[in-house]
Amino acid sequence: MADKRIVVTGMSVNTPIGDDPEMFYRNLVAGKSALTNWRFIKDDRVYSKVGGDLSNYDCQTKFAQLAEKLPDEVRARCRKIFRTAPFSTRLSQLSALDAWLRAGLGFDFDPRSVAVLVGGHNLNERYLLDNFQVFLQEEPDWIDAQAALLNLDTDHAGSIGESLGCRGAMYSLGGACASANIGIRNAIDEIRYHQHDIAVVTGAALDFSPMGLHAMALLGAITFQSFNESPELASRPYDLRREGFVPSHGAATLILEDRDHALARGAQIHGEVLGCVAMSDGNHLPNPSTEGQSETIRRLLSVTGVRPEEVDFVSAHATSTHLGDLSEIRALRNVFGKHAEKLKINAPKSMLGHTCWSAPAVETVAGLMQMKHGRLHPSINIEELDPEVDLDVCANQAVDFQPRIMLKNSFGFGGINCCALWRGGDDLA
């Protein structure tokens, strides 16, 4: 039904500055950077030295904490999956379990009523490269015996579905840095038109390989020139010294639910997704398009029936690239006109770096937490503001502000634009 309202009843996040929503929010508001030097790269020839690194994250301890809350049968099947899963798949499984438990859903439900959607592609990049090196340099039979299965992006969705016991729609969606928002867009359709009460949307962590990071440096997309000795300064949206985005690990899950279903079970509601629209630039290159971004936001406003002046907060895509940051500012000017000067805009990537495919989900959690607490995190590292950035970007300090409607922008390589509108949860229960 097109008139179904869809709300968030559970959410989880895992980044280097927090693996639960409250800790994550506190560190964002404090302006804490997630960025360090990469720990898993051992080859000095790789230009990329700086990122948000979870490669040493204690997945075992997190799993043990969550497993204590699971029924015996569920715990046993989750442990079996977790034991052999690659790093990124483990993070997806942990993220989905955490969000499910935070939503208070339990495990006595119609398994056909829950869809599982994973935003991301080429997710287990380092796992694949490690096995490829064993195949070429050592002995082909020594590769992981399950590599044919575990390398597939769909294994993320399958692992989540089996862990939770879901038998509704289950698939992954690849849309570069807009992937998790495209997951949210499809989740809306699954609930409104395909007989699902709940959709689990996981923005999966991209497990970067040294080769993949070096390739992005050669493309000129990521920073590698100036901040190797001060990684916390490397991500600097809107600052004149920005020189490319900073790749980072990160995962998040949103439990989206039919509002009537959520209210009937007495669930806590964290926010409502008013709509999510995807469009494209018709250009396979990573060139941001002000026109394409503007058209996506305009269509989103049209589809949701939200007037431009009703939007008061923008969780920006703002990756710390010269062209990208300005393209988005110009698009906001195009769409909102004079009202753009009243918008509060901030850049989560200034602290988190760019969590790539999962960024829309990770940053939506950040946005909903800001809407809950009425305090916006700063955009850090703005030492000399680009003179073309003439809107309020919450430069360098947190701001007390109670947003009513948030615009979450996501723009991916290949001209993929996907934007969502969210309302806070205070008046939805």
Task: Judge if 236 and 344 occupy the same domain.
Answer: no
Last residue of a domain, one of 255, 271, 287: 271
Backbone φ and ψ for 101, nearest 5 degrees, come out as -65, -40
175 in a structural domain: yes
pLDDT tier at 343, thresholds 50, 70, 90: very high
Task: Judge if 89 and 237 occupy the same domain.
Answer: yes
Instruction: Indicate the number of domains in the chain.
Output: 2
Backbone φ and ψ for 358, nearest 5 degrees, come out as -85, -5
Task: Judge if 231 and 300 occupy the same domain.
Answer: no
Average pLDDT, whole number, for the chain? 96
Task: Judge if 249 and 101 occupy the same domain.
Answer: yes
298 in a structural domain: yes
Dist. CA 22–CA 13, nearest whole Å: 10
Residue 406 structural domain: 274-424
The 10s digit of each residue's pLDDT in 131-151 is: 999 999 999 999 999 999 999
Task: Judge if 253 and 289 occupy the same domain.
Answer: no
How many beta carbons lie within 10 A of that of residue 13, not counting itself? 32
What's the pLDDT at 284? 86
The 10s digit of each residue's pLDDT in 297-334 is: 999 999 999 999 999 999 999 999 999 999 999 999 99
User: Which residues are registered as beta bridge partners of 405?
Assistant: 423
Task: Judge if 310 and 233 occupy the same domain.
Answer: no
Last residue of a domain, one of 253, 271, 289: 271
429 in a structural domain: no
CATH of residue 342's domain is: 3.40.47.10
Asked whether residue 23 carries a pLDDT value surpassing 60, the answer given is yes
Closest Cα partner for 225 from 242, 209, 238, 212?
242
Helix (H) or strand (E) holding 325: helix 322-336
pLDDT tier at 429, thresholds 50, 70, 90: low
The 10s digit of each residue's pLDDT in 386-407 is: 999 999 999 999 999 999 999 9
What's the pLDDT at 425? 80
225 in a structural domain: yes
Task: Judge if 229 and 283 occupy the same domain.
Answer: no
Q: Which residue has the tokens 């409502």?
A: 272
Last residue of a domain, one of 237, 271, 305: 271
Task: Judge if 256 and 370 occupy the same domain.
Answer: no
Dist. CA 33–CA 16, nearest whole Å: 9
Burial class (CB in 10 A: 0-12, 13-18, 19+), 360: buried
pLDDT tier at 428, thresholds 50, 70, 90: low
